[in-house]
Amino acid sequence: MPASLHPASRRIRFLQLFTILWMACEAGSSLLAAWLAHSPSLLAFGGDSLIELLSASVVLWRFSARTAVERAEHRAARVAGVLLILLAGYVSLISVLALFGYSTPKPSLFGICVLIASAVIMPLLAREKRKLSDSTGSAALRADATQSRLCGYLALIALAGLVMNFIWRVGYADSLAALATVPFIVHEAREAIRGKPCPCA
**CA gap 36, 57 in Å, rounded:** 28
Q: Length of the chain in residues, anyone?
A: 201
For 60-84, how does the pLDDT look when each residue is reduced to its tens digit (9 = 90+)? 887 776 665 667 667 777 877 888 8
Element (H, E) at 102: none
pLDDT at residue 78, as a whole number: 80
Helix, strand, coil tally for the chain in percent (to 5): 85, 0, 15
CA 184 – CA 156 distance, rounded (Å): 12
How far apart, in whole angstroms, are the C-alpha atoms of residue 182 and residue 188? 10
What is the pLDDT, as a whole number, of residue 137? 79
The reported pLDDT for the residue numbered 68 is 55
- Report pLDDT for 201: 34
pLDDT at res. 90: 93
Domain boundaries, the chain: 3-193
Nearest in space to 18 (alpha carbons), one of 53, 69, 66, 68: 53
Instruction: Using 50 as the pLDDT threshold, list the residues of the chain that sit under it.
Output: 1, 197-201
Per-residue pLDDT, 140: 74
Under 8 Å between Cβ of 108 and 162? yes
Q: Residue 119's Cα: distance from chain center in Å?
A: 11
How far, rounded to the nearest angstrom, does the alpha carbon of residue 187 sit from its chain's CA centroid? 12
